[in-house]
Amino acid sequence: MAVLGIEGGIFGSALEEFNRAATVLGLERGIWNILSHPKRQITVSCPVLMDSGEIQVFTGYRVQYNLALGPAKGGIRYHPGVTLDEVTALAAWMTWKCALANIPFGGGKGGVTCDPTRLSRRELEALTRRYVAEIIDAIGPEKDIPAPDVNTNEQVMAWVMDTYSMHVGHTTTGIVTGKPLELGGSLGRREATGRGVMIVTREALKHLGRDLAHATVAVQGFGNVGSISAELIAREGATIVAVVDWKGGVHNAAGLDIPKLVEYVRVNPEHTVAGFPGGDPITNDEFWALDVDVLIPAALENQITVDNVGLIRARLVVEGANGPTTPDANKLLHDRNVLVIPDILANGGGVTVSYFEWVQDRHGYFWSEREVNERLEAKMCEAFEATLRTALQYRVDMRTAAYMVAINRVATVTRMRGMYA
């Protein structure tokens, strides 16, 4: 079967990372072949009756990249740029992220090519319900569990859950994670990614002989991941000296007051940190060149590139965002002995607590926030230690090591399960 995107494209880049780690692992040809192909790619047409009375047909995708460890897990993205290539790459990354987190999930991802800013609430609900109906045979709490991604939220997840439940004839909360608390969501899910970033930052500094309580930190992006990472890191005693977002940045060498900054962004009509009175404005270039211990890119992909990597003076980069460092820049940082904690490790807290949400839904018994956080702490530390051990043993960077741990886990169960034919 020809796999779309296998030559070049985003999936091509995902395969490059896979190939590098698989080479160091010495992965045998057969398993290599299996793990570099998506198990299932579904494309559906979703007709929607628009408010205008016209029928518009949207294209949706669901890719289940690998199911060796358990049901597929991955978000649903609504964006005009969604393609099968992109969804396949994202599903592959979810496979490695879940395996590294050591949770019993495979990797999946979904998307609908649409511009949600141009849809009314009714149209968005109709599109969501039709998309779910079109993929319904492929999803389920034992098969494939979606979650929010770009431009989808708790409300969209509630519609996914309701549509699935209507089809099977009973309420099935475990079909989706990232739900509202009232519908079987988990305490601590909203903060989970930022909490995971804080935990790996603390562990990485420990490895470097440093203490988070005395570290200086700069954060790019102040949305869910950036703001919560900053808040929790500041609570550990570290000094957050700068934050930048899409509109501008703010710097205070003595430390920004993060709770005040969160409130400033909340009430600001443009939801930006720019203009915060508790610091001075800072440009992007000044931000990357700050003399800090830790940089946390928590905004978008491709932010640390060959053009700005030379400015970086931090000793540690923790990738809160997905793909914030280009491969060339990653190599330059490694050569300069800057420790980079890769995205699949650093932001794995989100999917880990999604797993906890699924477990709680299936038991119908819900944990306290303290229990969620303690279990997250244990999982993040375990993943960090496994990655660091591999990096030291094979003398590779943390990104390659994280992929090696993940690929090895999926390869091991694939070998054990054998070939069904």
Q: List residues binding ligand NAD (CB under 6 A).
A: 193, 220-226, 244-246, 298-300, 320-322, 347, 350
From the CB of 224, what's the least distance to ligand NAD, in Å?
A: 4
> Given 73, 97, 109, 179, which residue is catalytic?
109
In the bound state with ligand NAD, the residue whose beta carbon lies nearer, of 193 and 330, is 193
User: 121-135 and 154-168 helices cross at what angle (nearest 10)?
Assistant: 50
Whose Cβ is closer to ligand NAD: residue 5's or residue 74's?
74
Which is nearer to ligand NAD, 46 or 194 (by Cβ)?
194
- Output 126 or 297, the one with its CB closest to ligand NAD: 297
Total residues belonging to the chain = 421
Name which of 114 and 411 has its Cβ closer to ligand NAD: 114
On the 0-12 / 13-18 / 19+ scale of CB atoms within 10 A, 149 is buried
Comparing CB distances to ligand NAD, the nearer of 46 and 406 is 406
Instruction: Pick the closer one to ligand NAD by CB: 71 or 221.
Output: 221
Closest approach of Cβ 168 to ligand NAD, in Å? 27
Does the annotation mark 143 as catalytic? no
For the CB of residue 80, give the shortest distance to ligand NAD in the complex, in Å: 17
For the CB of residue 246, give the shortest distance to ligand NAD in the complex, in Å. Answer: 4
**Nearest approach, Cβ of residue 421 and ligand NAD (Å):** 37
- Nearest approach in angstroms of CB 301 to ligand NAD is 6
The least distance separating ligand NAD from the CB of residue 245, rounded to whole angstroms, comes to: 3
Q: Which residue is nearest to ligand NAD (CB)?
A: 223
Active-site residue list: 109
